[in-house]
Structure 1
């Protein structure tokens, strides 16, 4: 078997679907120049393969990293009734 899981010292963020991710090493590149290397995978996707595990983790975090939730911008056409009532009405 040419692929094996590598235990990493930090938690690898899951994908956007919430699947847990794991760091893998495909030894085919080492054996015969094949398409091997380090990569991160989950149930639904995998990163590109890199010679260095750190590069694979950076690529995974860039693509699947947690992003801050978008805040909705307030609409300009909303009438604020509380302000109208306080104005003497």
Structure 2
């Protein structure tokens, strides 16, 4: 089942937030990692990326799940009163 036409904007907004979050962690941009390195310059970038790798994997799994099963993202907006 696809996304109902009236919910496409909501679904796309949720997927877009996950994509932006991934873009702020994954290189080459990875602004969050650069901020962490700026706060703790003694810690190597490799160590920081090793620490955020599980979160990158979890976000990629979440993105795949939201794409394959849009009902996951649309459950809460559907149960909220309009």
| TM > 0.5 fold call | no
TM-score, L = length of structure 1: 0.27
TM-score, L = length of structure 2: 0.28
Q: Which has the larger radius of gyration?
A: 1
The structure carrying a bigger strand percent of its residues is 1
Q: Taking CA–CA contacts closer than 8 Å with sequence separation of 6 or more, which of the two structures ends up with the larger relative contact order?
A: 2
